[in-house]
């Protein structure tokens, strides 16, 4: 009996070890197998001349996503295992062609309907006219004798007077509505100005609290921890390879030089080969780019763990929520 019980425990332990090993392997695959991406494109400064190609793969291309944009249209294709999904959006030219075909078909159908109605009217006109009965002749004679006669119930002067009264009432209602809209508009402006003034007064009252909150030693320590973790995350997410060629001009030499000085600050931190050619005399923009990179989920996990482990970050998060609710 004891031998049988030990055998059952041994089998259960082997099954649990296998399940645990599978879970560890899956976790390692998710954390350490990178998501590879590739972005390439070129442009001549126009929307029609801009082309972009983006490809994202994971787990040896078992999961794949491709996006192509060019000639004002976009196409995408995805693959999950051995199954592919395709889709996209037509360009404006293709939409114009299909709309033109639909319009021609609609015009032809409308012409056919007009021809059918024309034939029906011709048949009706060819049919013999019915002669009026004697009673109809009497009514026609009565109408011919008094062509300008008015009904006894509604004389012309009373009708004109009622029409003028209705017009005056309509004009008065329109003027009243316009006055109400103008007064409500000015009332809204007054309420908005009052709300802005109240917020400014409230902010000036809590300005000292905000300064004290930012200058607190615990909060400054939390901000420093978050800054370091963010820099490490960005280093891990930056692309490994890349080639960028940019030739641009803003039309104003001073403005072009100022923008080039701003790019020079970021230039040393960008990976890959980068070439920037400024044009000081003309306004233009063209370039090419080809960027490759990898994203590891372990970087996101370590970033989250660094923030969660820090006691200063957790306390600062609580203080921020409390400060926002009071503000």
- DSSP bridge partners of 320: none
Q: What is the pLDDT of residue 290?
A: 92
Q: What is the pLDDT of residue 124?
A: 53
Q: Are strands 283-295 and 83-89 parallel, antiparallel or unpaired?
A: unpaired
Q: Collapsing DSSP states into helix, strand and coil, what is residue 264?
A: helix
**If the chain, 327 residues long, is cut into consecutive pieces of 10 residues, what is the mean pLDDT of each piece?**
84 94 92 91 87 91 90 86 76 55 59 61 51 44 45 52 71 77 77 75 70 85 91 84 88 87 79 85 89 90 91 90 77
Domain boundaries, the chain: 33-117, 207-326
Task: Look up the pTM and report it.
Answer: 0.57
Give CA separation, 314 vs 1, 107, 181, 302, in Å: 55, 69, 52, 16
Q: What is the pLDDT of residue 266?
A: 78
Q: What is the pLDDT of residue 110?
A: 61
297-309 and 2-32 helices, crossing angle to 10°: 100
Tokens of 313: 């970050």
Q: What is the DSSP string of 43-106?
A: E-SSSTT-EEEEEEEETTTTEEEEEEEETTEEEEEEEETTEEEEEEE--HHHHHHHHHHHHHHH
Question: What is the distance between the alpha carbons of residues 47 and 92, in angstroms, rounded to a whole number?
Answer: 12
* CB neighbourhood size of 280 (10 A): 14
């Amino acid at each position: 009996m004891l031998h049988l019980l030990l055998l059952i425990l041994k089998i259960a332990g082997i099954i649990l070890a296998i399940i645990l090993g599978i879970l560890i392997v899956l976790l390692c695959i998710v954390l350490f197998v990178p998501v590879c991406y590739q972005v390439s494109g070129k442009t001549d400064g126009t929307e029609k001349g801009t082309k972009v190609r983006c490809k994202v793969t994971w787990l040896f291309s078992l999961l794949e996503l491709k996006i192509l944009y060019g000639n004002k249209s976009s196409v995408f294709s995805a693959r999950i295992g051995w199954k592919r999904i395709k889709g996209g959006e037509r360009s404006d030219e293709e939409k114009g062609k299909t709309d033109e075909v639909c319009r021609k078909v609609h015009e032809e159908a409308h012409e056919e309907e007009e021809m059918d109605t024309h034939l029906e009217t011709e048949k009706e006109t060819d049919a013999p006219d019915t002669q009026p009965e004697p009673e109809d002749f009497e009514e026609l004679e009565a109408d011919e004798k008094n062509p300008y006669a008015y009904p006894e119930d509604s004389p012309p002067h009373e009708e004109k007077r009622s029409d003028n009264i209705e017009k005056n009432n309509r004009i008065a209602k329109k003027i009243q509505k316009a006055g109400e809209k103008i007064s409500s508009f000015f009332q809204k402006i007054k309420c908005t100005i009052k709300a802005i003034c109240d917020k400014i007064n409230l902010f000036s009252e809590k300005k000292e609290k905000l300064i004290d909150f930012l200058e607190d030693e615990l909060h400054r320590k939390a901000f420093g921890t978050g800054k370091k973790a963010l820099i490490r995350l960005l280093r891990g997410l930056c692309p490994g390879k890349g080639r960028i060629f940019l030739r641009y001009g803003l039309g104003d030499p001073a403005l072009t030089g100022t923008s080039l000085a701003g790019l020079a600050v970021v230039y040393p931190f960008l990976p890959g080969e980068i070439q920037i050619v400024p044009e000081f005399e003309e306004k233009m923009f063209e370039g090419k780019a080809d960027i490759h990179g990898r994203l590891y989920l372990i970087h996101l996990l370590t970033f989250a763990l660094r923030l969660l482990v820090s006691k200063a970050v957790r306390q600062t998060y609580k203080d921020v929520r409390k400060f926002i609710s009071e503000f």
